[in-house]
Amino acid sequence: MSITVKAMPAVFVLIWSTGFIVAKFGLPYAPPLSFLAIRYALSIACFLLWIVLARAAWPQGRQQWLHLALTGVLMHAGYLGGVWVAVKNGMGSGLAALIVGLQPVLTALWISWIGLPGGQPHGQSHVTPRQWLGLLLGLGGLLLVVARKFGIGSEVTALTLACEVFALLSITVGTLYQKRFVQPTDVRSANAIQLAAALLVTLPFALMESETIAWNAQFMSAMAWAVLALTLGGSSLLYLLIQRGAATAVTSLLYLVPPTTAVMAWLLFDESITLMTVAGTALTALGVSLVVRPVKPQAA
C-alpha cells in the first residue's frame, strides 16, 4: 500500500474538521440551506468541467444512479443540512463536531448487530461487553459537554440538538448504504450525481428562507473553501475511502475531529474550552475507541 493511500484517512479528517469552522465562518452572512444550495451548484459545475476534461466515465445502469442519488441526499443534504442549521441557530462548532463524531459508535454497533456492509459476517453477531462500555462512556462524555449548554439562549436547544441527531443518523446510514450498494465508479461522476440529488432536495427549502445573502469577502472565502477543499477534496476522499473498503478506518479516525475542531474554534472564534469540555471530549474519544477497536479472534 502506497504512502498516499495510507495518508488518505488522516488527510480526510484534517479537511473534514474545517467543515464546522467554515459553517461558523460563513453563516453570519447567509442562511444555511441557501449557502449549501449555492455550494452544491458550484461544486457540480466544477465536477462537470473536471469530468469533461478528464473524459471520466459515468456509472453504468439506472440502479447505480439511484443508489448514488440516495447516498447524496443522506451524506450531503441530510448531514450538512442538519449541521449547518444547528450552527446557524447558535450551536458552537466544537459541540457540533462532538455530536456527529459519535458516528463511529453507531457504525460499529450496526456492524456488530447486522454484519459488515456487503453481506460479509462480522464474526461477532452481538455487541461485546467492551463495546457496550465504550458506548456508555461515549454517551457519558457527550452528556458532560451538552448538559451545561442546554437551555434557553444557549447553544443547545431542542432544535439544534434535533438537527445534529438528524445529521448524525444521515451520515451514518449514508456511509453504510454506499458501502453496501454503490459499486466502484469514477469519484468525479459519482460526486456529481450525489451533489445533484442533494441540490434537488435542498433547493426548495432554501427558497423558503427569508434571510438575504451578504456577498462580502468573508462569505465568498467561506464558499470557495467549502467548494474546493471540502466538496472537491473532502467528499472525494470520503468516497474513495469507502470505495476502497476503508469505511471502518474513516470512522475510527472521526473521533479526532471534535478535539481538532474545538481547538480551531477556540483560536478563531474564542469558543470556550472548559475543563468539563475537555473531560467530556476525552471520555467520548475513549468510548468511541473502545467501540471501533477490532475484536480479536478467539483461539480455537
pLDDT digits (tens, 9 = 90+) for 134-151: 777 877 877 777 666 665
3-class secondary structure, 115: coil
All cell numbers assigned to 81: 443540512
More confident residue, 74 or 284: 74
Closest CA to 178 of 105, 73, 40: 73
Q: Which of 60-74, 111-125, 127-141 has the lowest mean pLDDT?
A: 111-125
Region 157-186 average pLDDT: 89
Does pLDDT of 249 surpass 60? no
CA distance linking residue 215 with residue 240, whole number of Å: 33
pLDDT of residue 238: 73
Residue 123: per-residue pLDDT:
43
User: What is the predicted pLDDT for the residue at 295?
Assistant: 59
At 4, give phi and psi (nearest 5°): -60, -45
The answer for residues whose C-beta is within 8 angstroms of residue 219's C-beta and 6 or more apart is 26, 29, 30, 213
Confidence of residue 291 (pLDDT cuts 50, 70, 90): low
Grid coordinates belonging to 29? 452572512
User: What average pLDDT does this structure show over 248-252?
Assistant: 54
CA proximity to 33, closest of 204, 228, 234: 204
Q: How far is CA 61 from CA 66, 187, 216, in A?
A: 9, 16, 43
Regarding predicted confidence, which is higher, 152 or 161?
A: 161
Mean pLDDT to the nearest integer, 191-197: 96
CB 261 within 8 A of CB 145: no
Highest mean pLDDT among 216-220, 232-236, 270-274: 216-220
Q: What is the per-residue pLDDT for 297?
A: 55
pLDDT at 46: 94
Which residues lie below 8 Å from residue 69, measured CB to CB, with a gap of 6+? 193, 194, 196, 197
pLDDT reading at 202 higher than 90: yes
Residue 41 pLDDT exceeds 90: yes
d(CA 103, CA 247): 11
Residue 139: CB partners within 8 Å, gap ≥ 6? 102, 287
3-state helix/strand/coil string of 79-98: HHHHHHHHHHCCCCHHHHHH
Answer yes or no: pTM beyond 0.75: yes
Of residues 77 and 132, the one with the higher pLDDT is 77
The reported pLDDT for the residue numbered 210 is 93
Cβ atoms within 10 Å of 235's Cβ, excluding its own: 25
More confident residue, 85 or 115: 85
Query: In the prediction, which pLDDT does 180 show?
Result: 81
